[in-house]
Structure 1
Amino acid sequence: MILRNLFTVGTFTAFLFAGSAFLHENQITKISTDVSSGNNGFAVLELFTSEGCSSCPPADELMGQLEEKYKDQPVYILSYHVDYWNRLGWKDRFSSAENSQRQQLYSRTLRSQTYTPQLVVNGTTGFVGSDRKATEHAIESVLLDSKNTDINLSATVSSKTISVTYKTTEADPQSKLLISLVEKKSSTQVSGGENEGHYLKHYQIVHKQEQIPLKDHPEGTTDFKLPENFSIKNWEIIAFIQNIKTGKISGAAKTEIQ
């Protein structure tokens, strides 16, 4: 496996964005009832990937397999498509500068290079995203050892927005609640770059992420713009609490479509 390291991280660009907090009227469809993350172990898997990287499809496929394998356990998978591959022949429609900036944060806290595919588990352990053995070992370890700080979530859909209501007892001034709008599955026929001619499948794609300081907002509501061609069964909300200094994730939860 050849890791694809396209650049060296220079000046760190702040990636933490304050989440909006407001309620919408005319909410018409319920995504989920209140969901509590409970107090057992959990695993948050963050994959940094790109449609322009020939080493990434195996990692993307592994995320789909793990999502199925651990579907009844507190394992939360988020795939961030980075944008720095876009200049090499193919623009990844799921990519964003915010996703690349998030990976840069991990390059700093983990003291690692920036490469794809990279997988980070619970904010503290990073390795090659297509390494099944390392990934499953990391999952099993944190499911046994970690303690999940309670997060309660609910979400509703209106004609234009998805509104997420959250509440947690976490009050650490160094912690933020990261709430992500996630598309469970999609695919692309690639016609340029390293994966030209390939039909790629993607899983647990992060489309937007709001980041809320818990010191000032331990409970509230944040909104996402309703995506185009939205299908309620193919989307979910994943939230987790992260220490912005150390990167450690202390709790996670998600809302499922009812």
Structure 2
Amino acid sequence: MKPIKIFVAITGFVMVVIASAAFTNKDEAIASKEEVKTPGKGFAVVELFTSEGCSSCPPADELVARVQKEDKDKQVYILAFHVDYWNRLGWKDVFSSTEYSKRQHEYAGWLRLKSVYTPQIVVNGQKEFIGSEEGNLRNAITAGLRATPAATLTLNAQNGQGKVTVQYHTAGTQNKTLLLALVQKAAQSKIGAGENGGKTLSHVQIVRVLQSQPLNTTETGTAVINAPGGFNTNGWEVIGFVQNKANGQILAAAKSDINTTVNAGK
């Protein structure tokens, strides 16, 4: 009878171990799910360098449009910069600017790249990759949202007489630079020539104006942006971000809808 008692004892011990492991795995699974659901405190500034004259760019434009829709309630800020160096191929991108090409070259210096290219995405000024690489973009956004911001930024934008006045407040940003982008949320273009000739291209989050504001002595202030032709408050917004101009790192970001200023006496 003794061997039977030993067998029962061992069997009981094994069952306890299995049950304990099962509860542990269940708890870990629940904790994992809770971790995924917990919103992060960070942000992701996604800068897409694109062009209507580049045949490889439409897939990247479509990708950021999907991300913009899916992540609209998260601290994800998409900025599409249309560069001008593809205009020589026979189609002038109406949204392109030499200023945006210079910004991309600035990133080439910060990130130690040998050249610039399109489509290119830079996230939080630190990580770059081909703009149509969805996996890299999703991972970079997730990492940004999970990070702890090094600074804070709040914005309030008002429209009046063709000018957008932006009140800003930052913390932890002295000796850095505040960049303010006036963004057109959506547009379409019928392409008449070049690599995308004959196509109708859709764009989102188009940067129409970009201006910088040094944060040397004060972290609170007001900036005025001259609105371009076609501006209207409903389809536009202001995105601001604080950048370390020594290495390109983005320390804080925020956005604001553009409110219409009510004239006195009305």
Cα distance in 2 for residues equivalent to 1:134 and 1:61? 15
Q: Deviations over 1:60-82 (max 9, x none)?
A: 11111100110000000000000
How many pairs align?
Answer: 219
Contact 2:49 2:118 in 1 (8 A): yes
Aligned with 2:67: secondary structure? helix
Aligned pairs for 1:1-258 (under 5 A) are 40-112=41-113, 113-147=115-149, 149-173=151-175, 175-257=176-258
Which structure dedicates a bigger proportion of its chain to helix? Answer: 2
Q: Deviations over 1:171-214 (max 9, x none)?
A: 432x1000110000001000010000000001100011111111
Cα distance in 2 for residues equivalent to 1:144 and 1:123? 16
Cα distance in 2 for residues equivalent to 1:92 and 1:40? 37
Cα distance in 1 for residues equivalent to 2:188 and 2:254? 26
Cα distance in 2 for residues equivalent to 1:216 and 1:52? 42
Contact 2:174 2:217 in 1 (8 A): no
Give the residue type in structure 1 aligned to 2:182: L
Aligned with 2:135: secondary structure? helix
Aligned with 2:95: secondary structure? coil
Q: Unaligned 5+ residue runs, structure 2?
A: 1-39, 260-266
Q: Structure 1 stretch 105-114 or stretch 184-193: which is displaced more? A: 105-114
Q: Unaligned 5+ residue runs, structure 1?
A: 1-38
Cα distance in 2 for residues equivalent to 1:138 and 1:78? 15
Cα distance in 1 for residues equivalent to 2:232 and 2:173? 35
Aligned with 1:194: secondary structure? coil
List structure 1 segments (4+ residues) > 6 angstroms apart after TM superposition: none
Contact 1:40 1:148 in 2 (8 A): no
The share of aligned pairs that are identical, in percent, is: 46
Give the residue type in structure 2 aligned to 1:237: V
Contact 1:242 1:248 in 2 (8 A): yes
Give the residue type in structure 2 aligned to 1:70: D
Query: What is the CA distance between 1:257 and its match in structure 2?
Result: 4.6
Contact 1:110 1:124 in 2 (8 A): yes
User: Which fold has the larger relative contact order, with Cα–Cα distance below 8 Å and residues 6 or more apart in sequence?
Assistant: 1
TM-score normalized with structure 1 length: 0.82
Query: What is the CA distance between 1:152 and its match in structure 2?
Result: 1.6
Q: Deviations over 1:217-246 (max 9, x none)?
A: 422111122232322221000000100011
Q: Which of the two has higher C-alpha Rg? A: 2
Change (3 A) 1:193 1:155: same
Cα distance in 1 for residues equivalent to 2:206 and 2:128? 19
Query: What is the CA distance between 1:148 and its match in structure 2?
Result: 5.7
Q: Deviations over 1:61-107 (max 9, x none)?
A: 11111001100000000000001111111000100011000000110
